[in-house]
Amino acid sequence: MSRIGKLPITLPAGVVVTVGEDNVITLKGPKGELTQQVKENMKVEVDNGLLTIERPNEEQESRAMHGLYRSLLNNMVIGVSEGFRKELELVGVGYRVNNNGQVLELSLGYTHSIYLELPAEIKVETKMERNKNPQIILESCDKQLLGQVCAKIRSFRKPEPYKGKGIRFVGEQIRRKSGKTAGK
């Protein structure tokens, strides 16, 4: 049996789960509301504050989907109860960031500024302090959407291995390379 799929999900106080038609799972909590479509053959049950998922048979696809849906639903429970937070920092001379509502303005050494409109589900905050790298703080209840937006922001200027300039997660270690003069 799937080691991940068979684990029950504990529902914190304030989280309400409804199983609708066609196995549409809706979770409501203090941080927001999320929905997920689960395959029809998977059986989702809620009882005594525990959410469990059972698979119909031992086929390869059923076993794979069992663990996948359990992980997705667990991330949704954590998201609507606590929320997720990602911090990005801009490393480089002259790199700046600013936000006007849901529009993020990035100056990353190109001839033009980059404007990115963020989804309404994501809360954004920017920090520009003296003698520190500018930071982007993103918060959301949807882990998938948050990761996708972080990947999009990071794709504008990935960290390069020689000087370490670019957009990186706070605390991320970049593997540095020595330049061409190091071998002499």
- The model's pLDDT over 80-124, given as tens digits with 9 standing for 90+, comes to 999 999 999 999 999 999 999 999 999 999 999 999 999 999 999
In this structure, how many other beta carbons lie within 10 angstroms of the beta carbon of residue 95?
A: 18
Q: What is the mean pLDDT of residues 36-47?
A: 91
CATH code of domain 84-169: 3.90.930.12
Q: What is the mean pLDDT of residues 148-168?
A: 94
The residue with tokens 């972080």 is 150
pLDDT at 184: 62
Question: What is the Cα–Cα distance from 164 to 143, expressed in whole angstroms?
Answer: 27
pLDDT at 100: 94
pLDDT at 38 over 80: yes
What percent of the chain has pLDDT above 70?
97
Mean per-residue pLDDT over the chain, rounded: 92
Superfamily of chain region 9-81: Ribosomal protein L6 (3.90.930.12)
pLDDT at 18: 92
Q: Model confidence at 58, in pLDDT bands (50, 70, 90)?
A: confident
Residue 99's Cα: distance from chain center in Å? 20
pLDDT at 40 over 80: yes
Within 17-156, residue ranges assigned H as helices are 60-81, 143-155
Q: Model confidence at 182, in pLDDT bands (50, 70, 90)?
A: low
**Higher per-residue pLDDT: 161 or 183:** 161
pLDDT at 178: 87
pLDDT at 5: 87
Bridge-based pairing state of the strands 43-47 and 50-54: antiparallel
In the chain, residues under CATH classification 3.90.930.12 are 9-81, 84-169
Question: Going edge to edge, which strands form the sheet with 114-117?
Answer: 96-100, 103-107, 114-117
| Least trusted range by pLDDT, from 57-66, 109-118, 138-147 | 57-66
Q: Model confidence at 2, in pLDDT bands (50, 70, 90)?
A: low
Bridge-based pairing state of the strands 32-37 and 43-47: unpaired
pLDDT at 1: 46
Q: pTM of the predicted model, to two decimals?
A: 0.88
